[in-house]
């Protein structure tokens, strides 16, 4: 990829990286601005965070949401996989594990857009038939000299033809998504707008139905045939808000993605615990677990 490496050598960038490298359709949802190699399997990725964002900045525009940090780390790994490890564009990435600790005390919105740097270290790259098939990487996010997050991520990647066989004919065009049920009040889940609520109430206070709105401009930045990982992480974040009101900002997520969450079948979110190590959130579909996450909070 000569063109990509030429971009990496540009000293000052005034635009984002190509959105295709981070699997985004909207430039506004592309947070990375450049990268360079700093060592063996190690890279520095530059980003810019907007001072206002419908989902990733607090409604009073005072703080960046921890899940903005998560999305920036996700984009960083995808970018490096394409540009430095030659994963072809068009391959599908599937999250397996995402463990992240963020430090909200360093996530205040300032007078100009924040420009964090993500130190990415690929610690394992697996190959199949000469092509990368998956990887693990560690990340540290620095902002104005302060460490704002550390993370460990694992993912697999498959070619389009293989992905289509795995999905057995499911595509965005063939899957019919039922209307999303009414959600919880936004204030209960730490959101300002009803459209950003991803949990619908049930008869139990520790169980909700996942609201899947394929028109949401962030979670469904482009058509998908399954619920994305960031939507499942947001469900864990909102479950923590709902179960531990006043318990601090959900700021650490230790998550495992077991299988695809389908769009046309109900996904149920259940929470347990809340003291000690954190709140355990599990997403199930039918009899199967699709996602589980341990959520920790930073006291304000």
The model's pLDDT over 104-134, given as tens digits with 9 standing for 90+, comes to 999 999 999 999 999 999 999 999 888 889 9
**Within this chain, do residues 225 and 131 fall inside the same structural domain, yes or no?**
no
pLDDT at 300 over 90: no
In this structure, are residues 292 and 283 in contact, taking their beta carbons and an 8 Å threshold?
yes
Residue 217: φ, ψ to 5°: -75, -15
**Within this chain, do residues 180 and 160 fall inside the same structural domain, yes or no?**
no
**Within this chain, do residues 186 and 268 fall inside the same structural domain, yes or no?**
yes
Domain boundary among the residues 106, 133, 165 is at 165
pLDDT given at position 2: 34
Range of the domain at 261: 171-298
**Of 116-125, 150-159, 160-169, 194-203, where does mean pLDDT reach its minimum?**
160-169
**Within this chain, do residues 181 and 34 fall inside the same structural domain, yes or no?**
no
**Within this chain, do residues 176 and 153 fall inside the same structural domain, yes or no?**
no
**Within this chain, do residues 20 and 135 fall inside the same structural domain, yes or no?**
yes
Domain boundary among the residues 109, 140, 165 is at 165
The pLDDT of 55-75, averaged and rounded, is 96
**Within this chain, do residues 160 and 176 fall inside the same structural domain, yes or no?**
no
Identify the band that residue 249 occupies on the pLDDT scale cut at 50, 70 and 90: confident
Measured CA to CA, the distance from residue 224 to residue 65 in angstroms comes to 24
The pLDDT of 266-288, averaged and rounded, is 90
In this structure, are residues 97 and 52 in contact, taking their beta carbons and an 8 Å threshold?
no
pLDDT given at position 246: 77
Residues 6+ apart with CB under 8 A from 77: 120, 135, 137, 139, 153, 155
Please report which helix (H) or strand (E) contains residue 152, including its range. strand 146-158
pLDDT in tens, 193-243: 999 999 999 999 999 999 999 999 999 999 999 999 999 999 999 999 999
pLDDT given at position 64: 97
Number of domains in the chain: 2
Q: For the chain, give the percent of residues with pLDDT over 90.
A: 87
pLDDT at 4 over 50: no
pLDDT given at position 111: 96
**Within this chain, do residues 204 and 289 fall inside the same structural domain, yes or no?**
yes
Identify the band that residue 15 occupies on the pLDDT scale cut at 50, 70 and 90: confident
**Within this chain, do residues 32 and 134 fall inside the same structural domain, yes or no?**
yes
Residues 6+ apart with CB under 8 A from 208: 184, 199, 200, 201, 202, 235, 239, 242, 268, 269, 270
Per-residue DSSP letter, 168: T
Report the predicted TM-score, pTM, of the whole model to 2 decimal places. Answer: 0.93
Mean per-residue pLDDT over the chain, rounded:
92
**Within this chain, do residues 259 and 218 fall inside the same structural domain, yes or no?**
yes
In this structure, are residues 282 and 291 in contact, taking their beta carbons and an 8 Å threshold?
yes
The pLDDT of 69-90, averaged and rounded, is 97
pLDDT at 299 over 80: no
pLDDT at 10 over 80: no
What CATH code is carried by the domain that includes residue 37? Answer: 3.10.129.10
Domain boundary among the residues 105, 137, 165 is at 165
**Within this chain, do residues 198 and 142 fall inside the same structural domain, yes or no?**
no
Identify the band that residue 1 occupies on the pLDDT scale cut at 50, 70 and 90: very low
The pLDDT of 15-44, averaged and rounded, is 97
**Within this chain, do residues 68 and 193 fall inside the same structural domain, yes or no?**
no
């Amino acid at each position: 990829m000569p063109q990509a490496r030429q971009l990496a050598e540009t000293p000052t960038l005034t635009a984002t990286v190509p959105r295709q490298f981070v699997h985004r359709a909207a430039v506004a949802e592309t947070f990375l601005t450049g990268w360079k190699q700093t060592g063996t399997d190690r890279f520095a990725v530059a980003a810019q965070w907007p001072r206002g964002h419908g989902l990733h900045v607090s409604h009073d525009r005072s703080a960046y949401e921890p899940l903005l940090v998560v999305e920036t780390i996700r984009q960083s790994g995808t970018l490096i996989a394409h540009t430095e490890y030659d994963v072809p564009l068009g391959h599908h990435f599937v999250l397996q594990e995402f463990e992240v600790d963020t430090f909200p005390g360093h996530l205040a919105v300032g007078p100009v857009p924040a420009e964090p740097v993500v130190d990415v270290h690929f610690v394992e790259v697996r190959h199949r038939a000469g092509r990368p098939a998956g990887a693990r990487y560690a990340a540290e996010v620095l902002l104005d000299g302060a460490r704002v997050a550390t993370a460990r991520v694992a993912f697999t990647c498959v070619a389009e033809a293989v992905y289509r066989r795995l999905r057995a004919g499911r595509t965005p065009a063939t899957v019919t998504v039922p209307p999303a049920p009414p959600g919880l009040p936004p204030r209960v889940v730490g959101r300002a707008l009803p459209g950003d609520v991803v949990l619908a109430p049930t008869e139990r206070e520790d169980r909700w139905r996942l609201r899947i709105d394929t028109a949401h401009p962030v979670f469904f930045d482009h058509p998908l045939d399954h619920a994305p990982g960031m939507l499942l992480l947001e469900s864990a974040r909102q479950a923590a808000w709902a179960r531990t009101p006043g318990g601090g900002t959900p700021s650490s997520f230790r998550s495992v993605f077991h299988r695809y969450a389908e769009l046309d079948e109900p996904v149920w979110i259940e929470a347990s615990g809340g003291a000690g190590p954190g709140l355990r959130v599990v997403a199930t579909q039918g009899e199967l677990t699709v996602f589980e996450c341990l959520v920790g909070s930073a006291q304000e």
